[in-house]
Amino acid sequence: MKAALFTAFRSPIAVEEVAEPECPRDGAVVRVRACGVCRSDHHAWIGLDPDVSAPHVAGHEFAGVVEETGPDCRRWKKGDRVTAPFILACGECDDCRGGDPTVCNHQHVIGFTGWGAFAERLAVPHADFNLVHLPDALGFAEAAGMGCRVTTSFRALVDRAQVRPGEWVAVHGCGGVGLAAIMIATAIGARVVAIDINPEALSMAKALGAEATLDARGVADVGLAVRELTGGGAQVSLDGLGVTETFHNSVRSLRKLGRHVQIGMPLGKHMSPSVPLLEAVYSRQISILGTRGIAASRFSALLGLIEAGRLDVSKLITKRIELDGVGAAIAAMDGYTGVGITVADRIG
């Protein structure tokens, strides 16, 4: 089969013939019809993710059709339209049985701990637990664009922060995950202030529902500026980048008893930022929450928003490419100039 492969970190990504995936006994092989291009794929390509070794096929935001099932797979059959969380859990451990598969100790992470979905076919283990049925009305590109960015934002806002209508949500970083968060927060009745340094991203944030925007370039104290815009601070604030500066800006944006949610993955020098323990956590009593991925069982709530017409993920997709365009799309993420989500929807 064809796949977009890199043989060394930062080496060119080229479409090559690679071995077909083996179907797990309890799994399925999915013919990939679309796969989103995410900044996490860039992390893999440049060697920042400790789970990735070269040669490697990245890609974790997939949608497609079941092509083969193993003998122990009961729920799925050939031809089913599916997607899955990028964290494929075992379905058997205490975390999985308790409803928290994103912290499963036996997880397989598509495109990171194993080869991913920038390929014609992808093997999905524990398919009965991990695969998600796609409604016929939702296109493959839209389902892939929903990928980790929309699902992660949904869990961050709905499950972790438990955002309520009327609350202020500050979104620091208006890349794909930040824009998704803006759409979701707006859909559930929250008020949004979007913060970025890219005017195009801020313009798109406004179009997707942000009530206020803040260009952080030249702003001496972003947290103070957000508190002034929101009349005392946001109840919820998200760091969509995983950068020390945006983490601190997010924490400073909050009012008393506010909730910070860390969405962006902190890597390298950003892994261990200082925390204002006395001023923020002890005195203002803020909460610091982490989020990563989503359970397959929670897709139904997100898909319900889409089917009800309250969330249109197609608005996030700004570019569609062929499989051989994946390398250029990932390399372009060396900067922060892109807007919206790129989807490879011509895989084979």
Q: For residue range 228-285, list pLDDT tens digits in order.
A: 999 999 999 999 999 999 999 999 999 999 999 999 999 889 999 999 999 999 999 9
Domain of 45: which CATH number? 3.90.180.10
Helix, strand, or coil here: 139? coil
Residues 280, 303 within the same domain? no
Q: For residue range 81-130, list pLDDT tens digits in order.
A: 999 999 999 999 999 999 999 999 999 999 999 999 999 999 999 999 99
Residues 309, 260 within the same domain? no
Of 164, 116, 121, which Cα lies nearest the Cα of 29?
121
Residues 163, 282 within the same domain? yes
Residues 99, 40 within the same domain? yes
Residues 274, 298 within the same domain? no
Place of tokens 């194993």: 114
Residues 161, 70 within the same domain? no
Domain count for the chain:
2
State the pLDDT at residue 21.
97
Q: Taking a C-beta distance cutoff of 8 angstroms, is the pair 23, 123 a contact?
A: yes
Residues 144, 15 within the same domain? yes
Q: What is the mean pLDDT of residues 304-333?
A: 95
Beta bridge partners of 69: 28
Residues 25, 57 within the same domain? yes
Residues 102, 164 within the same domain? no
263: containing domain? 150-290
Q: Taking a C-beta distance cutoff of 8 angstroms, is the pair 6, 13 a contact?
A: yes
Look up the pTM and report it: 0.94
